Amino acid sequence: MTTKESRPLLLVEDNEVNREMLQRRLQRAGYSLDCAADGQEALDKMRELLPALVLLDINLPVKDGWTVAKEASSDATIQDIPIIALTAHAMASDREQALAAGCQDYATKPIDFPELLIKIERLLNS
């Protein structure tokens, strides 16, 4: 496994099964990864680790994904970190809500993994 980025990605997901699965697949794809299980932990780790990119589940305990994205975009130290929203909701309004909340992209569960990798690469290289 080769680390493509010096800084890790941050995966925020409360469902243990899905978190483990994504973590393993992303590590296998060559990314170094940190994980958070709720919204507050996500914000804390963003400030602490300054990850290269955040994969943010929307249905989170403590603080939901929308709140995390909004707080992040108003915090000068972490507002430049790109965020990809992950949600099992598949309505058009969810996509618009995600972009309006300050997320740079959006992926629907079940995750299309190759497409997710393309989105990550696009944001890391921009």
Partner 1 sequence: MKLSRTSLSLRARLYLFSVAILTLFVVNVATHLWGSFARSESLVAYRDAAVAAQLINDLQQGLEEARQQTLVLATLRETTDEPLGDAERQTATAQLETLRQRLGKLGALGGESTEDYYRRLFDSASQLLDEWQSFYDDYNRLERQSAVESPIQYNDTWQKLNELDQRQEALAIQRSKTIDGTITLTDQITVIGFITTIAVTMLLVILLIRSTNSSLLRLKTGVQRFGSGDLSYRIDENRDAGEIQDLARTFNDMSGKLTTAIEEVNNAKADADAANAAKSMFLANVSHELRTPLNAIIGYSEMLQDELGDPGEVNREQVQHDLGTIIISGRQLLGLINEILDLSKIETGKMQVNLESFQPAALILQVCDALSPLLSQHKNSLKLELTGAEGHTMLSDPGKLQQIVTNLFSNACKFTDSGTISVAAKISEDQLTLTVADDGIGMTPEQQGRVFDTFVQAEATTGTKYGGTGLGLSIVKDFCSMLGGEISLTSTPDAGSCFTVTLPTTGPALDPEAA
Rule CB under 8 A: is residue 67 a binding residue for partner 1? no
Give all strands (DSSP E) within 42-104, no chain letters: 53-57, 83-87
Pick the piece of the chain touching partner 1 (CB under 8 A) from 3-11, 13-21, 47-55, 74-82: 13-21
Would you say 76 or 110 has its CB closer to partner 1? 110
120, two tokens = 């990550």
Residues 102, 96: Cα–Cα separation, whole Å: 10
DSSP-based helix, strand, coil % in the chain, nearest 5: 45, 15, 40
Q: To the nearest whole angstrom, how small is the minimum distance from the Cβ of residue 76 to partner 1? A: 29
- CB of 56 closer than 8 Å to CB of 86: yes
Pick the piece of the chain touching partner 1 (CB under 8 A) from 2-10, 11-19, 40-48, 69-77: 11-19
- CB of 49 closer than 8 Å to CB of 25: no
Q: Which of 5, 40, 63, 113 binds partner 1 (CB under 8 A)?
A: 113
DSSP 1-13: ---S-SSPEEEE-
Q: Which of 47, 48, 79, 91 binds partner 1 (CB under 8 A)?
A: 91
Q: Which of 40, 67, 73, 108 binds partner 1 (CB under 8 A)?
A: 108
Rule CB under 8 A: is residue 21 a binding residue for partner 1? yes
For binding to partner 1 (CB under 8 A), which residues are involved? 15, 17-18, 21-22, 24-25, 28, 58-59, 61, 64, 88-91, 108-111, 113
